[in-house]
């Protein structure tokens, strides 16, 4: 008795054995909407694949006082983001992409002194590598596909994702002060000062990274701050992320405004 083989099994097995290398012959995978896909096509870019990067860093719990700069703590946070950024750039090189758009950034903490940064986005590639809008090296960006579309049309280019992080301590409140604050609506002066100081240091780190990339500025800045209080630690943690951009040699290109009319019925669910 001869065993029968279903049609198509042979080619399917051969495809599984071959390593996946995204190119024009393979369908792409992305988390883009239909509108975002069309916008990318308009500026000569095509999605390639979904890429990701993960980085983690830990630090020793520190005793903080008023005005104390927790340098090790701040550097660990920046390192976690930098590791994730390097990981996603390596994946971009592996799939021969020019950059990533619509990237989501997730920061997760565990046990108070461990931070994990996860990045996930859609890798894109210019149809014509010699096109003026094609970047010189793979870029990581927090821009949406729509914002990337506008940026390229205006003769700008993203040069990378930049990060800044800082931690500054503040004085712990005594029991008497805590009881007083419960009765009165007063400002926490030490904590406010620590927040301003941490913000200033984080922004300086962000600007320094942008300068090293040769950027003209930073857009789509995201801020995250949180107070950290425990037995020995009273501090403010400040993290800032953004996308560094650079103008082309020709400078900014003015864009003619276009009228858009949506056909979505927003009241359909309400019976309107």
Percent of the chain residues topping a pLDDT of 70: 68
Which band of pLDDT confidence, cut at 50, 70 and 90, is reported for residue 2?
very low
Q: Where are the domains of the chain?
A: 26-249
pLDDT in tens, 12-58: 556 555 555 555 557 888 888 888 999 999 999 999 999 999 999 98
Query: What do you get for the CA distance between the two ends of the chain, in Å?
Result: 67
Q: What is the pLDDT of residue 267?
A: 57
Give the class (CATH, top level) of 26-249.
Answer: alpha beta
Q: What span, in angstroms and rounded, lies between the C-alpha atoms of 177 and 28?
A: 60
Phi, psi of 67 (to 5 degrees): 80, 0
54-63, 174-183, 231-240: least confident range: 174-183
Q: Is 80 exceeded by the pLDDT of residue 214?
A: yes
Per DSSP, 184 falls in state: S
Mean pLDDT value of segment 238-262: 79
Q: What is the pLDDT of residue 125?
A: 92
pLDDT in tens, 189-205: 677 788 888 899 999 99
pLDDT in tens, 97-146: 999 999 999 988 877 678 899 999 999 999 876 545 555 689 999 899 99
In this structure, is the dihedral angle defined by the CA atoms of residues 253, 254, 258 and 264, taken in order, positive or negative?
positive
Q: Which pair of tokens denotes residue 190?
A: 């030490």
Q: pTM for the complete prediction? A: 0.73
Q: What span, in angstroms and rounded, lies between the C-alpha atoms of 108 and 62?
A: 20
CA distances for 74 relative to 81, 88, 199, 265, angstroms:
11, 22, 12, 47
């Amino acid at each position: 008795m001869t065993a029968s083989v279903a049609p198509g099994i042979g080619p399917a097995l051969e495809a599984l054995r071959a390593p996946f290398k995204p190119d024009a012959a393979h369908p792409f995978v992305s988390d883009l909407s239909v509108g975002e896909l069309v916008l990318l096509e308009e500026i000569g870019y095509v999605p390639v694949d979904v890429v990701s990067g993960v980085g983690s860093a830990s630090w020793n719990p520190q005793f903080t006082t008023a005005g104390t700069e927790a340098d090790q703590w701040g550097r660990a946070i920046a390192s976690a983001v930098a590791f994730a950024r390097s990981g996603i750039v390596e994946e971009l090189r592996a799939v021969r992409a020019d950059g990533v758009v619509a990237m989501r950034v997730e920061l997760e903490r565990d046990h108070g002194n461990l931070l994990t940064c996860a990045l996930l986005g859609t890798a894109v590639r210019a149809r014509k590598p010699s096109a003026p809008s094609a970047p010189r090296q793979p870029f990581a960006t927090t821009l949406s596909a729509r914002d990337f579309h506008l940026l390229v049309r205006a003769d700008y280019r993203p040069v990378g994702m930049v990060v800044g992080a800082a931690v500054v301590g503040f004085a712990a409140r005594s029991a008497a002060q805590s009881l007083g604050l419960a009765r009165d609506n007063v400002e926490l002066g030490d904590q406010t000062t620590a927040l301003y100081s941490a913000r200033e240091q984080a922004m300086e780190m962000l600007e320094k990274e942008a300068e090293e990339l040769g950027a003209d500025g930073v857009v789509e800045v995201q801020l995250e701050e949180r107070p950290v209080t425990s037995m020995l630690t009273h501090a403010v943690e400040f993290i800032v992320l953004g996308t560094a951009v650079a103008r082309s040699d020709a400078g900014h290109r003015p864009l003619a405004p276009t009228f858009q009319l949506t056909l979505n019925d927003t009241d359909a669910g309400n019976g309107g």
